[in-house]
Amino acid sequence: MTKHQYDVLIIGAGGAGLRAALEIPEGFSCAVLSKVFPTRSHTGAAQGGIGAALGNEEEDSWEWHMFDTVKGSDYLGDQDAIEIMTKDAIRAIIELEHMGMPFSRTPEGKIAQRRFGGHTKPENPSDPDSKRIAVKRSCYSADRTGHVMLHTLYENCIKQKVHFFSEYFVTDLIMSGDACAGVVAMDIATSEVHVFHAKAVMLATGGYGRVYRITSNAHVGTGDGFAAVYNNGLPLQDMEFVQFHPTGLWKLGILISEAARGEGGILLNNTGERFMERYAPTVKDLAPRDMVSRAILTEIREGRGIKGSDGTYYVNLDVSHLPKEIIDDKLPEITGFARTYLGVEPTKEPIPVQPTAHYAMGGIPTTPDAEVTKDKKKTIVPGLYAAGEAACVSVHGGNRLGTNSLLDLIVFGRRGGKAIARFIGETDFAPLPTDAADRTLSKIDRIRNSKGKEKPGALRLELQEKMMEKVGIFRNEKELTEMTVEMKSLRERYQNISIDDKGVVFNTDLMEALELGNLIDTAEAITHSALARQESRGAHSREDYPARDDKKWLKHTLIYKADAAPKLDYKPVSITRFQPKERKY
């Protein structure tokens, strides 16, 4: 077993992790651990843009961006944190441009901006209460914004000589008393377990899309950071809020960006009706994602979906009426996906789409400086930080607006990096427990030597299908309760998994078995949090409790792992500028 010591460890090399790494000053040692080579991280799959009220295309203000984010969150987002993010957005985008990110440009050479779901301005700017209309706020680079952002951040890390451990899989946190003192990780190339001792650890491990069968997320999105926290007695927050993106490619779930609708694409049902006009009369197809996903599912349930060759249903996303230049210059990647994967020519025919599991609004609770907190009093865990999709600040509340995820990464990645820089300057290493790696070693031993009948691939598929069925877009007590029972049995069966690959070289069989454990922990937290919340808010839609209930439920969920069943607690929401109102578009 190899031991390492670094002042700072950053786990995950997507947007948040890389942005944080750039803040660690010279003179301190820092390593970034990632289970894939950095540019393979899932940030690179983001398409449509990054939100900031630059006002390059039309009048805009960060207050409007803040209001939209609060309303989009169904008032569950913490307004102090949302204010920080939307204010800092403008600086953050300019900084990305200075780092070299290639943006699409306006005729004057400024960063180009486009419309996106839920981003609005008052029709009469001098009357903030006037009707809200869509605004061009999403800064973009064709439909590859996440890709060029990820590459730009990685390029800047090369420039700053950041040290990477690529293809290292973090299996556990090392807790030393109340503080985090490092991580345990497996070098995938050799299966060797390494102990990394550190003053500060940042979890920037992304989301958990692979809990569901239909997802836009990469195979690496297995909730590793959530499981690491959950298994160390720390809570997860608001896990019931799972974003289903309305437009995944039918059957595959591959993301078709909201930019398609931002540029003028429309959704149609089996009669050719533009059905979003009924659900969101003002912003129509550019309503927030939770509403559009529910609308699509409602159309399908009421018999207005289109039946596909395999008997499953979809609706159509039509961009064929848009000028060819728009499709070629602004949406090349996603129209390419439609051609490649479904054999559909988007300039001539509509694209079959269905909602796809996309984003975790919930996650590891943090302060706006990315410090992880462990209870409803927001007690800080010394040395432990989280940022990006892994974290729940909470800026997205019950539903995230498109373009706010890339923004979240760079704003809170940077703030976390700065907070860590302060912390390591004034702190010494917490003592390293001698048994730090024991739990990982015994888990790996058990899986490697097991002769159990369960196989990781089959068990994972069962979990993913049951989560689709019982903890999807519409939920109810009966199915959620059934899923809690399923979770117990899946967890027991997981103890009996065995793998074929007993070797040590690049053992992806073992990796996937370990990842499955993380998926099960994450799914348990989602299911129990969802069962407890007896209201409908944002992406959490209960058929048995269809209304939002601010009196009882305007609060954040905290869930802790426990022996019999997880324990729940709640903490208040920060409300500063905008009192909750009915959410209509």
Partner 1 sequence: MKVILRIQRYNPEKDTEPYYQEFTLEAGDDKVRILDLLHEAKWKYDGTLTFRRSCAHGVCGSDGIRINGRNRLACSTLLRDVNYRKPIVIEPLPSTAIIKDLVVDMSDFYKKYEAVKPYLVNNSPPPEHERLQSNEDAEKLFESAKCILCACCTTSCPSSWSDQNYIGPAALLKAYRFAFDTRDDAGDERLDVVDTPDGAWRCHTIFNCVEACPKEINITWHISQLKKRLAQREM
* Catalytic sites, residue numbers: 289
H or E stretch covering 354: strand 351-360
Q: Residue for token digits 């390494």?
A: 194
Bridge partners of residue 244, in order along the sequence: 357
Q: Tell me how far, at minimum, the Cβ of 265 lies from partner 1, in Å.
A: 19
CB of residue 158 to partner 1, shortest distance in Å: 6
Query: Considering beta carbons, is residue 151 or 197 the nearer one to partner 1?
Result: 151
Residues 485-504 that bind partner 1 (CB under 8 A): 499-501, 503-504
Give the nearer residue to partner 1 in terms of CB position, either 449 or 508: 508
Both structure tokens of 409: 């990464």
582 binds partner 1 (CB under 8 A): no
Residue 69 found at the interface with partner 1 (CB under 8 A): no
Cβ count near 335 (within 10 Å): 22
As a whole number of angstroms, the distance between CA 333 and CA 320 comes to 15
Q: Closer CB to partner 1, residue 54 or residue 180?
A: 54
Q: CB-based contacts of 238: which residues, under 8 Å, 6+ apart?
A: 76, 361, 362, 363, 392, 394, 397, 398, 529, 556, 557
Block residue for tokens 């209304």: 547
Angle between helices 456-470 and 477-494 (to 10 degrees): 170
How does DSSP classify residue 296?
H
Applying CB under 8 A, does 233 fall inside the site for partner 1? no
User: Whose Cβ is closer to partner 1: residue 142's or residue 286's?
Assistant: 142
Instruction: List the interface residues with partner 1, window 327-386 (CB under 8 A).
Output: 329, 333, 337, 340-343
Q: Is 204 in the site for partner 1 (CB under 8 A)?
A: no
Verify binding: residue 455, partner 1, rule CB under 8 A: yes
Residue 532: CB atoms within 10 Å: 15
As given in the structure block, the two tokens for residue 2 are: 């190899």
Give the dihedral sign, CA 548/550/551/554: positive
- CA–chain centroid gap for 409, Å, is 10
Determine if 534 is a binding residue for partner 1 (CB under 8 A): no
Q: Which two tokens stand for residue 153?
A: 């951040």
Q: Are strands 266-268 and 113-122 parallel, antiparallel or unpaired?
A: unpaired
Shorter beta-carbon distance to partner 1: residue 236 or 459: 459
Please select the residue that binds partner 1; options are 3, 131, 159, 378, rule is CB under 8 A.
159
Is residue 15 part of the contact set for partner 1 (CB under 8 A)? no
Shortest separation between residue 532's beta carbon and partner 1, angstroms: 33
How far apart, in Å, are the Cα atoms of 436 and each of 117, 205, 291, 513?
46, 21, 45, 21
Toward partner 1, which CB reaches closer, 96 or 283?
96
The SS3 assignment for 389 reads helix
Stretch touching partner 1 by CB under 8 A, among 40-48, 267-275, 429-437, 560-568: 40-48
User: Measuring CA to CA, which residue among 203, 223, 554, 265 is closest to residue 413?
Assistant: 203
Q: Is 326 in the site for partner 1 (CB under 8 A)?
A: no
Taking CB under 8 A as the criterion, the residue among 509, 515, 521, 535 binding partner 1 is 509
In the list 13, 148, 315, 523, the residue contacting partner 1 (rule: CB under 8 A) is: 148
Using rule CB under 8 A, residue 103 touches partner 1: yes
Give which of 45, 59, 8, 20 is closest to 359, Cα–Cα: 45
- Choices 57-65, 102-110, 281-289, 381-389; region in contact with partner 1 by CB under 8 A: 102-110
Work out how close the CB of 149 gets to partner 1 at its nearest, in angstroms, rounded to a whole number.
11
Tell me which amino acid residue 457 is. G
- Nearest approach, Cβ of 253 to partner 1 (angstroms)? 9
Q: Of the ranges 61-69, 249-257, 351-359, 372-380, which one interacts with partner 1 (CB under 8 A)? A: 249-257
**Tally of CB atoms within 10 A around 547:** 9
Q: Does 144 bind partner 1 (CB under 8 A)?
A: yes
Closer CB to partner 1, residue 333 or residue 482?
333
Distance CA 528, CA 508 (A): 30
Q: Report which residue type is found at 221.
A: G
To partner 1, the closest distance from the beta carbon of 29 in angstroms equals 20
Residue with Cβ nearer partner 1 (135 or 499): 499
Give residues with Cβ within 8 angstroms of 340, minimum separation 6.
Answer: none
| 219 part of the interface to partner 1, by CB under 8 A | yes
Residue with tokens 């000028």: 323
Nearer to partner 1, 271 or 309 (CB): 309
Token pair recorded at residue 426: 């004034």
* Out of 22, 36, 204, 386, the residue judged to bind partner 1 by CB under 8 A: 36
By CB under 8 A, residue 8 contacts partner 1: no
Structure tokens at 61: 């203000």
CB 7 within 8 A of CB 28: yes
Binding of partner 1 at residue 158 (CB under 8 A)? yes
CB contact at 8 A, 405 and 42:
no
Under the criterion CB under 8 A, does residue 109 sit at the interface with partner 1?
yes
**Spatial separation of the C-alpha atoms in residues 182 and 174, rounded to whole Å:** 5
Q: Which residue type occupies 91?
A: R
Looking at residues 458 to 477 of the shown chain, list those that interact with partner 1 (rule: CB under 8 A): 458, 461
Residue 2 lies near partner 1 (rule: CB under 8 A): no
Q: Among 41, 247, 335, 367, indicate the residue that binds partner 1 (CB under 8 A).
A: 41
What residues line the site for partner 1 (CB under 8 A)?
36-37, 39-42, 44-45, 93-94, 97-100, 102-112, 141-142, 144, 147-148, 151-152, 155-156, 158-159, 189, 218-220, 252, 254-255, 310, 329, 333, 337, 340-343, 455-458, 461, 499-501, 503-509
